[in-house]
């Protein structure tokens, strides 16, 4: 009987851990690119119920997937890579033009308008989450293209 209680307790603890590690992904989109362009940007809104960190990702359309930030330094827009993006519990974090975003570096093919880019986002707690970034010239409307994980 104690074994059954231990097993049930372990299963409940695992379910609670998985439930709190989930990340809501909304409005994933990427800018279209032209032949020969080496990089492209991706944007998305992420919300983690219990708090998490976006630590990376991957996609078949580029050699590398990087997390970046942009900021104005005087009159110059400066972009730099970051190791992770913090997701405070319950607060949406917007990856958008002019701020935090993902970069597809070393594009293997152009990203034509109207196509979708399959991406695997990697989170510290939630693990890997598969998302499709819709290629469009402007941001997706709220909730458009979103996936709840």
Fold classification of 22-148 is Immunoglobulin-like (2.60.40)
Q: Do the Cβ atoms of 135 and 29 come closer than 8 Å?
A: yes
Per-residue pLDDT at 1 = 56
Whether the per-residue pLDDT at 70 is higher than 90: the answer is no
Whether the per-residue pLDDT at 65 is higher than 70: the answer is yes
Beta-bridge partners for 123: 54, 127
Whether the per-residue pLDDT at 26 is higher than 80: the answer is yes
Average pLDDT over the chain reads 84
Whether the per-residue pLDDT at 80 is higher than 70: the answer is yes
Radius of gyration of the chain (CA): 18
Q: Do the Cβ atoms of 111 and 33 come closer than 8 Å?
A: yes
How confident is residue 116, by pLDDT bands cut at 50, 70 and 90?
A: very high
Question: Strand locations in 49-115, DSSP E?
Answer: 52-59, 62-73, 76-82, 85-87, 93-95, 101-107
Whether the per-residue pLDDT at 12 is higher than 90: the answer is no
Q: Do the Cβ atoms of 41 and 79 come closer than 8 Å?
A: no
How confident is residue 18, by pLDDT bands cut at 50, 70 and 90?
A: very low
Which H or E run includes 135?
A: strand 127-135
How confident is residue 82, by pLDDT bands cut at 50, 70 and 90?
A: very high
The full set of domain ranges for the chain reads 22-148
């Amino acid at each position: 009987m104690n074994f059954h209680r231990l097993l049930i307790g372990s299963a409940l603890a695992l379910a609670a851990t998985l439930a709190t590690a989930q990340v809501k992904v909304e409005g994933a989109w990427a800018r279209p690119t032209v032949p020969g362009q080496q990089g492209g940007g991706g944007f998305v809104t992420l919300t983690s119920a219990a708090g998490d960190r976006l630590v990376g990702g991957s996609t078949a359309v580029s050699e590398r997937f990087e997390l970046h930030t942009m900021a104005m330094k005087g009159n110059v827009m400066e972009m730099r890579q970051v190791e992770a993006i913090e997701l405070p519990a319950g607060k949406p974090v917007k990856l958008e033009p002019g701020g935090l975003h993902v970069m597809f570096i070393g594009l293997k093919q152009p990203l034509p308008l109207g196509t979708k880019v399959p991406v695997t986002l990697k989170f510290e707690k939630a693990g890997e989450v598969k998302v499709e970034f819709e290629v469009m010239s402007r941001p997706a409307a709220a909730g458009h293209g979103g996936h709840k994980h």
